[in-house]
Structure 1
Amino acid sequence: MFRNFNFGKIGKVLLGVVAICIITLLIGFSSDSFSSNRCKKIEINIKNADQQFFVNNQDIESLVTKYGSDQLVGKLYDKIDLREIEQRVLRNKQIKSCQAFRGVEGNLNIDIEQHIPIARILMPDGREDVYVDADGSFFPLSDRYSARILLLSGEYFRNLSNFKSKRQEKNLQFINLINEDAFLKAQFTQLDIEKNGDISIVPLVGNHVIEFGEPTNIENRLNRLKVFYNQILPVKGWDEFSHVSVKYDGQIVCK
């Protein structure tokens, strides 16, 4: 009566069933293991820590753990809200971005990027001074660290909340060109911007103020200023002039 049974076929079916059961168990175990694993350690990486010193690892860990009230080490990962942790960190406005994620080894990784200031704005309307970064974002000063950078002042900044509009693109370009030029960065300490957008430059050395005008034809005007510093001042002397203007194309006016 057993002659009609195909034991080879039955064996293959049984092997297939066993394999499916094993795969199902492994998936279930893996899923359960991932959801029930606990945070082993908080790993903090501050991307540009060697450029700016507004925050350190201790600051970030305090924000991540709500100043110790949320002890994440040893906590189940399915009880940790990574989005909420990112929002906690970003409450510090000197931080540009934050990513919180679980590493393969079970650590909670926190990747931080600080804002990099390109200038400091001396607010004319009673507000606290702020820094501005290359994207035009304003962010607060730090009690820990003061960046030695270009100062911006003037009525142009009254009630201004950022440097992101189309109107400000040329100003950002101008500031970046100064910061990229070693001589200009060392010589120009302050830009005073009037309500209409005209710029006056206060240099580090000399008794003169430079009338630059609106930030148009920028590179040509900066080249004329270099002619003034390299060819005129060495002959006339650093204290000879009180007013220099490159506002009008093709001219260097010295008084």
Structure 2
Amino acid sequence: MKNKFRILKILITVIIFGFLLSFSLKRFNDKPMEKVTVKLTQTKNRVYFIDEKDVKDLVKKSNPTKRVGDINIPELEKKLNQLPAVDSANVYLNLNGNLNLDIKQRVPAFRLNKDDRDFYVDEKGVEFPTSKNYSFPCMLVMGNVKKSEYVKLAELVSKIDRDDFSKKYFIGIAKKNGNYELLTSEGYFKVEIGDLEKIDLKVKGFKAFVEKFLIFQDPEKYNKVSVKYENQIVTTLNPNFKENDSIISVGKKELAKLPVINQKKEEAQKKALTPQRVEAKKETRKEKPKVTEVKKKATIKPKSEESKPKVTPRKEIVKPKVVEKKPAVTPKKVESKPKAKVKIE
């Protein structure tokens, strides 16, 4: 009997508790939504892409009856998370019937100008559009940047923002022909870094170049400073700077003297010649020695046309010398004969 009484007592309390709970839930659901609280979570850099008024208008559209029971909290969270400038959203109700919305906004890492479009990218590599009412001050990036490079590019921008030296010099990033260039506040030269690997080492190399060398030079003297090569800094002179005109002209003259360049020029000229011109030149070169041979043969034949060309000019020169000696011998013999005749008489 005692056990039955206990079971009956438990059932009665459960029924009474359920009745009271259903009554309170019904009363709570019929209660009007008195207050909507929008809490924007603070970040390192404050942003104002989302307006509280816009969020409250979204809540009103999702619950036109303004009854607590008609609010679909999961659906409202989904709509808030679909907003491009929202990183995360949390929606919950108090016992008083107040609706609370905790929203965390996206913080841009940089602003990208790509394919005639302008948008923000956060540190997670997520794109979201710019706002008409608010503009966040961040690094401007230009060029055909791939989505796979967003995270590394965001890390580069954060490193520049944390370093006072880099933040003072670099105001933008541009990608040209697969190489990244840092735009300087001076506006006279660019810093070429190549890819996004070993960024710390490249920035340190440029910092050393500025502190030990560039500080004593005119910034207008250079057009580009490249630190993309390991343990090397390559500078390009500005041709529009007056002091560089003489240096550039002298360098061109010295390069023109190099035999390698001259050989390349000759090869280029040979390639530019057509095959017909090459054959014409070869024929002219072959004809020149034939003309000289004919002239030599004409000099060899001074006396007779029937003599053969085999006789060399040296042999013909020797023969007239022998002929000249014979008349010198004959007059001596002729003079001795009359003397003998005179003695006989």
Query: Quick one: structure 1 residues 94 and 16, their matched pair in 2 at CA, closer, same or farther if it must change by over 3 Å?
Result: closer
Query: Quick one: structure 1 residues 132 and 22, their matched pair in 2 at CA, closer, same or farther if it must change by over 3 Å?
Result: same
Partner of 1:190, secondary structure, is strand
CA RMSD of aligned residues (A): 2.7
Which TM-score applies when normalising by structure 2?
0.60
Listed as ranges, the gaps of 5+ residues in structure 2 are 237-345
What's the counterpart of residue 98 of structure 2? 107
Partners of 2:95 and 2:135 in 1: CA distance: 38
CA deviation map 1:125-183 (0-9, x unaligned): 23x300110000111111111112111111x23xx5xx3x3x54433322221222233
What's the counterpart of residue 175 of structure 2? 193
Partner of 2:172, secondary structure, is strand
**Residues matched between the structures, number:** 235
Partners of 2:157 and 2:231 in 1: CA distance: 22
What does 1:112-131 correspond to in 2, within 5 Å? 112-123=103-114, 125-126=115-116, 128-131=117-120
Query: Quick one: structure 1 residues 244 and 37, their matched pair in 2 at CA, closer, same or farther if it must change by over 3 Å?
Result: same
Partner of 1:230, secondary structure, is helix
Percent identity, please: 26
What's the counterpart of residue 50 of structure 2? 55
- Higher deviation after alignment, 169-178 or 200-209: 169-178
Q: Is it true that 1:208 corresponds to 2:189 in the alignment?
A: yes
Partner of 1:147, secondary structure, is coil
Listed as ranges, the gaps of 5+ residues in structure 1 are 1-5
CA contact (8 A) 2:63 2:70 kept: no
CA contact (8 A) 1:64 1:88 kept: no
CA deviation map 1:12-69 (0-9, x unaligned): 6665454344333344334444544432211101113770111221122122223xx8
What's the counterpart of residue 220 of structure 2? 239
Query: Quick one: structure 1 residues 235 and 25, their matched pair in 2 at CA, closer, same or farther if it must change by over 3 Å?
Result: same
The list of structure 1 runs, each at least 4 consecutive aligned residues, that deviate by more than 6 angstroms after superposition, is 8-11
Query: Quick one: structure 1 residues 134 and 185, their matched pair in 2 at CA, closer, same or farther if it must change by over 3 Å?
Result: same
Partners of 1:215 and 1:9 in 2: CA distance: 78
Partner of 1:243, secondary structure, is strand
What does 1:1-255 correspond to in 2, within 5 Å? 15-16=9-10, 18-48=12-42, 51-66=46-61, 70-71=63-64, 75-123=66-114, 125-126=115-116, 128-154=117-143, 156-157=144-145, 163=147, 165=148, 167-196=149-178, 198-255=179-236
Partners of 2:26 and 2:222 in 1: CA distance: 78
Partner of 1:129, secondary structure, is strand
Partners of 1:95 and 1:13 in 2: CA distance: 53
Which TM-score applies when normalising by structure 1?
0.79
Query: Quick one: structure 1 residues 13 and 80, their matched pair in 2 at CA, closer, same or farther if it must change by over 3 Å?
Result: closer
